A = this chain, B = another copy of it.
C-alpha cells in the first residue's frame, strides 16, 4: 500500500486533546457512561468485563496470600467516623450523608425525606472505622491474630470534578483490613500486598509501575506510612494505581483493638489496609490505547478473538457460519492464561468494515475474518490490535489454533515493553528548581499540551516544599524503593536528601 492519510477512529487524537480523547475512547469502546446521578457512572458490560477480570485475578492472589473475604456495612455512624482525627479531616468534605429513613408526601404531589435518623450515617468512603469497631470485638487474645480479611465493595466520595473511572462519586474497589500482634508483621503484610498489586499491574494489566513510599503530605489520612504503585500515562501524568497503608496503632487506638499477648499483657494491635479500585480501568485505557480506541492487554480482555464471518449471499453465509462455529468451538478449548480462549463469534448482519472497527475501538486483541476463499485455503485472516488496522495476515487454521496463545502472549509482552519504554522516556533527573519549574510548565498555557513527565529530584520534608509544589500543580508521587541511595540536596530548600523522589503532575 502507498502512503495515505488515514483517518483515525477516535477524534480528537491524543495529540490534539488528550482529556477529550480519553472521554471519546471510553465512549467508543462502550466501557462506561455518566449516569443521571451526578458523578456516578454506569459501567457498561465491556467495561465491567474488564473489572471482572481484575477481580478474578486479584481475588485469587488475595486468597493465595492467606486472606478471606467478608462483608461490612455500607453505612458508618457519624460518631465512629469522628474517632480518628486525621481520618475524618481527610474525608469530611466529600461524604454522602444519610439523614432520613423514609419518604412521605410533600403536599405538592411529590415526596420528601421523612423519619429523621437520631444519628446521621455516612456512606462509607473507606471502611477503617466501621471494620475497626467490629475487629475490636473479635480480637481478645494473640490467638485471634492475625485477622486477614478483604472485602469487595462500593464506596462513595463526593468528587467535585468527577471523571469516569478516574474520579467518580461512587466507585468499586476491594479493601483489605488486617490486624497483627506486632509492628513487624503488620509492615510485612503492608509490603506483601503492595507486591501483589505490582504483580497484578505489571504481569496481568501490562502496566509498569514504580513501587515506593508516599511522602507525609500524600499519606492516607490516619496512616503512619502509605506505600503505592505509580503508573505513568501517555500524557506524562502519573496515576496512583494502588495503595497499601501501614496504620501503626492509630486505628487500633481509635477503635480500641486490644489483645492479651502470649506473655499475658494487654496490648494495642497493629493494623493495615490496602485497596485498588475501578480507577485501574482508567489507567489501563490511558497507558495502552491509541487514536483508534481502546487496547486491552489479552490477559484482561473480556474476549480474545472477534471472529467475523464474511459472505455475500445466503449460500456463502451458511457455509461460512458453519466453518466459523467449528473454529470457535476449537478455539474455546485452547488454554490461555488462567482460563481458555474467549471468542466472540460476531454474526450480526452489519457491514464488515463497521463491524471490524467496532472491535478495534473496543480493543479486542485479535480480529479473525473468515470468507469463502479463506475456507478454501483452510486459513483465517488475522488482525492484531497492537498493529495497524489494515495490517492483516493469512494463517492456516491449524497453525492459528496451535499458536493463538503465543500470539496473545506476544501482544501482552509487547504492550508491557512499549509502556515501559514510554515511561523510561518520560523520566528526567532534575537538579535545580529552575529546571524543575521549566519541566512542569506548559510552553503555551492557553492550550494546555502534553508536557512534563517524571522528575527525579532531591527533596526534604518541609512545608515550603509543599507550598511550591501546590503552586506548580505537581505532587511528590513516591520515594521509590528501587532508586539508588544517592545523597544530594533538596532542590527546594537546599537541605540534605538521602535519595531522589519521583515528582509528576497526576490524576
A: number of interface residues (CB 8 Å): 62
Most B Cβ at <10 Å: residue of A80, A98, A121, A123: A98
Q: Which of B111, B122, B149 contacts A103, CB < 8 Å?
A: B122
Query: Does the CB pair A71–B100 fall under 8 Å?
Result: no
Q: Tell me if A75 and B45 are in contact (CB < 8 A).
A: no
Q: Is A495 an interface residue (CB 8 A)?
A: no
B113 to A120, Cβ gap below 8 A? yes
Picked from B72, B75, B103, B153, the residue with its CB within 8 Å of the CB of A42 is B72
Is B110 touching A75 in the complex (CB atoms < 8 A)? no
Inter-chain contact A82/B99, CB cutoff 8 Å? no
The answer to the question of A133 belonging to the interface, with a C-beta cut-off of 8 Å to chain B, is yes
Residue pair A52, B69 in contact (C-beta under 8 Å) = yes
Docked pose: A42 CA to B92 CA in angstroms: 24
B134 near A73 with CB under 8 A, answer no
Query: Are the C-beta atoms of B70 and A96 separated by less than 8 Å?
Result: no
Q: Closest B-chain residue to A94, C-beta based?
A: B102
Q: Please report which residues of chain A, range 187-240, place their CB below 8 angstroms from some CB of chain B when the two chains form the complex.
A: none
Binds B, one of A12-20, A32-40, A242-250, A358-366: A32-40
CA distance A256 to B80 in the complex (A): 43
A352: interface (CB < 8 Å): no
Q: Could you say which of B37, B49, B156 contacts A77, with CB atoms under 8 Å apart?
A: B37
A110 / chain B contacts, CB cutoff of 8 Å? 78-79, 82
User: Would you call A68 an interface residue if the criterion is a C-beta within 8 Å of the partner chain's C-beta atoms?
Assistant: yes
State whether A74 touches B104 (Cβ < 8 A): no
**If the complex has contacts A37-B77, A149-B45, A154-B154, are A88 and B71 also in contact, measured as CB distance less than 8 A?**
no
Chain A residues 58 to 74 lying within 8 A of chain B, measured CB to CB, are 68-74
Does residue A490 face the partner (Cβ distance < 8 Å to B)?
no
CB atoms of A102 and B93 under 8 A apart:
yes
Residue contact A97 to B99, C-beta cutoff 8 Å: yes
Please pick, from B45, B111, B122, the residue contacting A68 in the complex, using a CB distance under 8 A.
B45
A468 at the interface (CB under 8 A from B): no
Asked if B82 contacts A68 (CB within 8 A), the reply is no
Return A118 CB to nearest CB of chain B, in Å: 9
* Given A44-B70, A73-B41, A134-B42, A96 contacting B111 (CB threshold 8 A): no
A175 at the interface (CB under 8 A from B): no
Contact with B along A153-170 (1 / 0, CB 8 A): 110101000000000001
Q: Is the CB of A113 within 8 A of B93?
A: no
| Neighbour of A102 across the interface among B52, B77, B98, B158, CB < 8 A | B158
Interface residue? A474 (CB, 8 A): no
Nearest CB in chain B: distance from A199 CB, A: 22
Contact at B40–A69, with CB atoms within 8 Å? no
**Chain B CB within 10 Å — which of A69, A70, A112, A149 has the most?**
A70
Contacts of A156 in B (CB 8 A): 74
CB nearest neighbor in B for A67 = B45
Chain B's nearest CB lies how many Å from the CB of A383? 24
Q: Complex formed: what's the CA distance from A362 to B93 in Å?
A: 43
Contact status A100-B101, CB under 8 Å: no
A100 lies within 8 A of B99 (CB): yes
Answer whether residue A130 sits at the interface, using C-beta atoms and an 8 A cutoff. yes
- The docked-state distance in angstroms from the alpha carbon of A36 to that of B79 is 11
A411 and B441 alpha carbons, distance in the complex (Å): 70
Chain B, residue nearest A160 (CB): B101
Complex contact B92–A103 (CB within 8 A): yes
Q: Is the CB of B111 within 8 A of A74?
A: no
CB-defined contacts of A45 to chain B, threshold 8 Å: 68-70, 149
Q: Taking the complex as formed, is A491 at the interface, i.e. its CB lies under 8 A from any CB of chain B?
A: no
Is the C-beta of A48 less than 8 angstroms from some C-beta in chain B? yes
A115 to B123, CA, bound (A): 15
A407: Cβ under 8 A from any B Cβ: no
Q: Is A95 an interface residue (CB 8 A)?
A: yes
**What is the distance, in angstroms, from A171's C-beta to the closest C-beta of chain B?**
10
Measured CB to CB, the residues of A under 8 A from B are 33, 35-37, 40-45, 48-49, 51-52, 68-82, 88, 92-104, 110-113, 115, 120-123, 130, 133-134, 149, 153-154, 156, 158, 170, 172
- Given A35-B134, A36-B77, 15 more A-B residue pairs with CB atoms under 8 Å apart are A35-B130, A37-B75, A42-B71, A43-B70, A45-B69, A48-B68, A48-B70, A74-B123, A82-B111, A92-B102, A92-B103, A93-B103, A95-B103, A97-B113, A98-B98
Q: List 20 A-B contacts (CB under 8 A).
A: A35-B134, A36-B133, A37-B75, A37-B121, A41-B73, A42-B72, A44-B70, A48-B70, A49-B69, A74-B154, A82-B111, A88-B111, A93-B103, A94-B102, A95-B101, A96-B101, A97-B102, A98-B99, A99-B99, A153-B154
User: Which 5 pairs of residues, A with B, have the shortest CB-CB distance?
Assistant: A40-B73, A45-B68, A43-B71, A92-B103, A97-B100
